[in-house]
Amino acid sequence: MTTADTNDLTMIRESIRKIAQEFDLNYWRQKGADKEYPWDFKNALAKGGWLGMFMPEQYGGMGLGLSEVGVVLDELGQRCGFNGNSVFQYYVFPPGPVVHHGSEEIKKEFLPKLASGEEMMCFGVSEPDNGVDTSRLKTFAKKDGKRYLVNGRKVWISNALNADRILLLTRTSPRNPERPYDGMTLFLTQLKGKKGVEINRIDKIMRNAVDSNEMVFENFEVFENEIIGEEGKGFRCLLDGLNPERIAVAFTAIGLGRGALDLTVQYAKDRVVFDRPIGKNQAVAHPLADSWIRLEAAELMAQKAARLFDEGKPCGPEANAAKFLGSEAGFEAADRAMQFHGGYSMATEYHVSRFWMEARHLKIAPISQQMVLNFISDKVLGLPKSY
């Protein structure tokens, strides 16, 4: 992957901003209300080649790094909120295990279609009962000749209603307490129009332009040549995606915070109470200034983590710290936006409530703030593990 150049980052930001400005916040409010996937927005990103920016050039991508991706996530977070951000994000990180561990045949056949926007994928990992302990997943793929029959349930699977394929994590052997992460296998397989799976949309309070779903598999067929990596070693393939995902969430949360802050700064200039704009009051101005400072600081950590990743260096502590700081700063800015809009924060036309809900979500997913602190306590400080 390339290392980021300041001029390149500026060009990327300006290009993404130009696209995003064609789809204003009213567009996203309506798409969310209608629970309608924003195909025209996705197609605009595809036309510019942006969907493939994190994929290798030999498979139709741009071959750019996480530093460049972070600029896009930040900008889309500001201009479009989490709905627009998610459209782009699911073309960037779910393919990671395929890029690093897929067979050459799979990569040549699939990645160019993904990079061009011809196909869409979803990522089937989370289950109803295992929380953040992936080793306890129960979806099982039983060998039957050259095929496997999958039975089990997945939950919170985004894009499943429209996805052409699914990257599906299953067990292929029972959990061994001595080596709990062994025995899991990743499959990249056709989803659209395929028998053996039921997809049920989850009704959410936010990000409804991009669907989230429960999936039930009953004798769902997958095949040997669809395995990503090696049988029984699927979890190791996932690890390549964990740090990039946390860094991506940091940039996303920072973008959401900045979007909420921009709306609130303008409101504080325009809203007159007791014959003066409310932004003239230090009780309003100082918290907004504080949020700007915290968002800038969080971005520096996210940039550091992205740079380490792009250079192929260890970045676990930095990725987790970036996720923590970005989520905290993003939500605090959005929470202050709600406070300073007062009663108008409840009106959907002011948009800040969407930023608030979306930023709050990123304190939970893809990993909670508490689990980040557990990681730092254990892996960085060397304290005894608490669980």
Structural contact between residues 198 and 152, judged by C-beta atoms closer than 8 angstroms: no
Within a domain: 386: no
108 and 18 share a domain?
yes
Within a domain: 1: no
107 and 50 share a domain?
yes
Q: Please, what is the average pLDDT of the chain? A: 95
Q: Which of 116, 145, 169 is the last residue of a domain?
A: 116
Within a domain: 87: yes
At 160, which CATH number?
A: 2.40.110.10
Summarised one tens digit per residue, pLDDT across range 117-143 is 999 999 999 999 887 889 999 999 999
Q: What is the tally of structural domains in the chain?
A: 3
Summarised one tens digit per residue, pLDDT across range 250-264 is 999 999 999 999 999
Q: Which of 116, 145, 177 is the last residue of a domain?
A: 116
Structural contact between residues 307 and 356, judged by C-beta atoms closer than 8 angstroms: no
83 and 139 share a domain?
no
72 and 32 share a domain?
yes
Within a domain: 385: no
Q: Which of 96, 116, 136 is the last residue of a domain?
A: 116
Q: Which two tokens stand for residue 166?
A: 């699914």
List CB contacts of 62: < 8 A, sequence separation 6 or more: 49, 52, 53, 54, 55
Within a domain: 33: yes
Query: What gap in Å lies between CA 231 and CA 171, rounded to an integer?
Result: 9
65 and 163 share a domain?
no
261 and 365 share a domain?
yes
Summarised one tens digit per residue, pLDDT across range 160-192 is 999 999 999 999 999 999 999 999 999 999 999
Structural contact between residues 171 and 165, judged by C-beta atoms closer than 8 angstroms: no
Note down the domain range covering 339.
236-380
Summarised one tens digit per residue, pLDDT across range 363-375 is 999 999 999 999 9
